[in-house]
Amino acid sequence: MEKKNHNSKKQEVKKIQKSPMNKMGAKVDKKAKKTKTIKTKNLLIGMIGAFLVFILLLLRLAFLQFIQGAELKESANRQQGTDRIISAKRGNIYDSTGKLLAASATVDTVSINPSKIKTENKEKVAKAFSTIFELDYNEMLEKVNSEKDLETIIKKVEKDKIDELKEWMKTNKTSAGINIDEDVKRYYPYGNLASSLIGFCDTDNIGQEGLELKWNQVLSGTAGKIISIEDARRGLIPDHNESYVPAENGSNITLTLDANIQTIAEKYLKQACIENDCKSGGNVIIMNPTSGDILAMATYPDYDLNSPREPNATLAPTWNTLSETEQLNALYKMWRNKAVSDTYEPGSTFKVITAAVRIRRKHCKNRYHK
């Protein structure tokens, strides 16, 4: 009986092992193992891919940092850096007694960074410039909408106009993109005195005529600048690279000219030219016979050094009838220092040469040799 029961249990175990459910479990187990293997492989491939990408990024970073670093830094500085020029003060010109003949006064120059001005404020800013400085509105609007980094609005502005602009900026709460930089303007306290000798400067304080041109390198000095870094919105970034290069002012020069003697010479030269109806004007040179110093060098007609591009009293009556070319030629003629640039008959001064020749050839009487 027991043997029979044991055989029946064996048969039942064999039936269970051969049952479909048991076979299905074995298949599921194999499939799970295969899926796990695939996932492991995918994870490994992903990790290898990420590692390769990381290596490539690291190599690219090293290339940008160590090989192209200097070039990229220079390019960034060009794009983000802004240079604001600080004008050097031009040296003064004095006469032999210490009188100031030419000097530089402190004024201001107004410029803008168009990209910093908000779009809704552009027309308002252009209108303010046009009204305060009496400039053309359309021209100002064009500058305000310009794509340039920097546009100059007006140079050499007096304090009263700058105060008016500052008041407008305060009232309208608009200051971004508007620059007011200290500048210098050349002026001549005595106006017409020694005009053809002293000469004048242009709006950039560069000598154009006379001593201002001749001694320009000595008088002009060296301009300075402020170098700063801006972000993408053109806001200033406090940075250790921001630097200030101070301007070096020009040197003063002192002439042998005596302003008192120059004034007297010009007064009587003008009187003589008018009385004798001298169409070409005239000139006078006064020298110290002992040292050869030039005490006065007068030319008539003269002009106002503070407004050299305006016609003088001689040119004014016919000025509007002249063409642009004729006006320019007339100004050049007005500025010319005839005492040193024009040729003229030597007159009595040549008698010394005649006398020297006669003495050398012994055609003079003995008394001239005593």
Q: What angle do CA 115, 118, 121 make, to 5 degrees?
A: 125
Q: What digits encode the pLDDT tens for the residues 302-339? A: 999 999 999 998 899 999 999 999 999 999 999 999 88
> What is the pLDDT at residue 350?
79
> Which comes out higher in pLDDT, residue 286 or 367?
286
Joined together, the tokens standing for residue 16 give: 């269970």
C-beta of residue 89 within 8 angstroms of C-beta of residue 247: yes
Closest CA to 116 of 146, 90, 95, 140: 146
Rounded to whole angstroms, the Cα distance separating 224 from 74 reads: 21
- The region of weakest confidence among 29-43, 109-123, 175-189 is 29-43
- Percentage of the chain beyond pLDDT 70 is 81
> What is the pLDDT at residue 368?
47
> What is the pLDDT at residue 273?
93
> What is the pLDDT at residue 230?
61
- The verdict on domain 83-189+221-254 having CATH code 1.10.8.50 is no
- Tell me the domain boundaries of the chain: 2-62, 83-189+221-254, 259-360
> What is the pLDDT at residue 146?
87
The DSSP 8-state label assigned to residue 271 in this structure reads H
Rounded to whole angstroms, the Cα distance separating 40 from 44 reads: 6
- Confidence check: pLDDT of 11 > 60: no
> What is the pLDDT at residue 361?
75
Which of 48-52, 104-108, 286-290 is the most confident on average? Answer: 286-290
Instruction: List beta partners, residue 236.
Output: 230
- The region of weakest confidence among 41-50, 90-99, 240-249, 283-292 is 240-249
Q: Which band of pLDDT confidence, cut at 50, 70 and 90, is reported for residue 106?
A: confident
C-beta of residue 247 within 8 angstroms of C-beta of residue 221: yes
- Confidence check: pLDDT of 252 > 90: yes
- The region of weakest confidence among 74-88, 208-222, 276-290, 351-365 is 74-88
Q: What digits encode the pLDDT tens for the residues 128-181? A: 999 999 899 999 999 998 888 788 898 888 888 999 999 998 888 888 888 888
Tell how strand 178-187 and strand 151-157 pair up.
Answer: unpaired
Give whole-number Cα distances, 156 to 78, 188, 219, in Å.
28, 15, 18
> Which comes out higher in pLDDT, residue 116 or 5?
116
Instruction: List beta partners, residue 107.
Output: 183
Rounded to whole angstroms, the Cα distance separating 81 from 32 reads: 63
Joined together, the tokens standing for residue 166 give: 């500052």
What is the reported pTM?
0.63
Q: Which band of pLDDT confidence, cut at 50, 70 and 90, is reported for residue 47?
A: confident
